[in-house]
Chain A
């Protein structure tokens, strides 16, 4: 991740767009924040390091201006999907790609330092050095990365106008991408039910998962809250919470690019990515389709083919 190259790319792009969406330091040393640069003033403050966790393409569907956006490999898949679905117009976005060797999970780092106030964060090679009032702690980046990074297949953006930095070769085990889903599937049905009731029982219905999701675009008419039609009640029961999360997952069938924003945004640490990955596993099996990998492709549920290669037709007598 080369921040100087990024800054010069941003300076070059700035005159042709209304804003560049990138990252700068947050008020807490452990957290970067999305920043919207309209002139050169903020460019010097840009950062590029494993704290740059947010998927900035989530801001694009609501964006009315012509903007440039900084994307990592995983983020570029969301953007491809948004372009495929016509939710973002290609001519309205300049894509600044940054190859990525993994980001941190802020939640994991916090847990590793006992949730104390972080005073400083430094990166040396694959080590993350965290300073708190209790002292300094060195953590391995791979130990405090979100699950998606351990099996990342697309460290280099798949679509960009300018790439800042040398491409990173994918080297993570492709056959392990869905191991976490298989682990859940190996549970018995009552075990699985108990697992999800416990996990989803923590949901506070804040909809951070929905609002952070780049592909969740229903905005004001989300079925979670509409009264007409009145699909869901506002009760905070496990049944209602599960209903919402399953609908969220199903609406992303063939669309979710596994960027993990739902899970990252969840303030209650619910493993929401698993639900979406399960459906992606099915999409891969049924349609051989991976969302957000080819801008010219169409999501399988947006099309109809009389003969699907991998689906056995019901034979009418």
Chain B
């Protein structure tokens, strides 16, 4: 591992030079909202607090064209219709800059679902470098350390940036990371290692949520009906989540041309499981919330050994009805109260 240091004054020029070489996606302030988007020259990157949504969309977009299709007729054989398909895979290199450790870890959870099976995801994933910003404090809803992460967790990152008093300490973790930081004007970071370590260890880390869900407790319909009563069945939790991966595929068609698109879908929507017969196995919102929590804390860990949740807290902070997944899993672990993380 290589380490480096960028002085505070050299940070903005570094970001600009990076943005000249590839597409850089970073948290940008838009009024009171912090949104991951491609930065344009001179855009300041928000390092104060995490973006409202995860950077998931850079690699798994909210909607993407899988292929376009065109129908045509041969004048000599008008009874026949020909269809031609055209697909254009992503070819540009991207950097996700200043996502948080929970965001980077999220991609490792998505990888197990998409990486082998999905060429669209794989292409983007391979061309994207993740330069993560370590957290220096705990934000509302955070519980990363309770699900295996932490404020300076390196899982999924190609480089980790720790903000220090006068600059940024950089840990280069992969070849991809080294490549993107090659002409960053980075100086040797050894002298700053201790200060960075102190900052990383000093960050409040959101530990103390019990997440070992006991399936027998989750089998209670009454528990879920009560827990889900206030839920509005919207998709805010799933769409802001760094690990939610459900999608829909639709043909968006004109008369002779159209495209097949993949777009985010949400297991919290009632028609997510609506079958062609008209039957809906999860017609009640209590069944849907149960499924979301069980997928993250029972089924996925059963297969992959860790929860499909990185404790980013977004579903908690942004839920319009104050549904709190950390509270739900605590109760399902057989505990009454979460630890006071602070």
Contacts and interface: CB of A to CB of B under 8 A. Distances in A.
Given A114-B48, A202-B35, A204-B53, A28 B316 contact: yes
A207 B266 CA distance: 11
B33 A269 contact: yes
A27 B230 contact: no
Contacts of B128: none
B230 A33 contact: yes
A212 B232 contact: yes
Given A107-B32, A202-B35, A233-B250, A211 B234 contact: yes
A236 interface: yes
Contacts of A198: 30
Contacts of B159: none
Interface residues of B, dominant DSSP: loop
A233 B261 contact: yes
Interface string A170-208: 000000000000000000000000000010001011111
B232 A233 contact: no
B157 interface: no
A207 B322 CA distance: 16
| Interface size of A as a range | 35 or more
B317 to A, nearest CB: 8
B301 interface: no
Interface in B112-136: none
Nearest to A202: B35
A108 B33 CA distance: 11
A58 B230 contact: no
Contact of A27 (B236, B270, B326): B326
A204 B62 contact: yes
A234 B234 contact: no
A212 B204 contact: no
Interface residues of B, number: 55
A118 B49 CA distance: 14
Interface string B260-286: 010110100111000000000000000
Given A58-B232, A110-B140, A117-B342, A28 B53 contact: no
Nearest to B283: A220
Contacts of B48: 114-115
A219 B336 CA distance: 35
A44 to B, nearest CB: 17
Could you say which of A32, A119, A237, A268 has the most chain B C-beta atoms within 10 Å of its C-beta? A268
27 contacts: A26-B322, A27-B324, A32-B322, A34-B230, A54-B320, A58-B232, A107-B32, A119-B342, A133-B138, A202-B30, A204-B53, A204-B235, A204-B239, A204-B240, A206-B234, A206-B235, A206-B240, A208-B235, A208-B236, A212-B320, A234-B63, A236-B263, A236-B264, A237-B63, A265-B236, A268-B35, A269-B31
Interface of A: 26-28, 30-36, 54, 58-59, 107-108, 110-111, 114-119, 133-134, 198, 202, 204-208, 210-212, 219-220, 225, 227, 233-237, 261, 264-265, 267-269
Interface of B: 30-33, 35, 48-50, 52-53, 61-63, 137-142, 204, 226, 229-230, 232-236, 238-240, 248, 250, 252, 261, 263-264, 266, 269-271, 314, 316-318, 320-324, 326-327, 338, 341-342
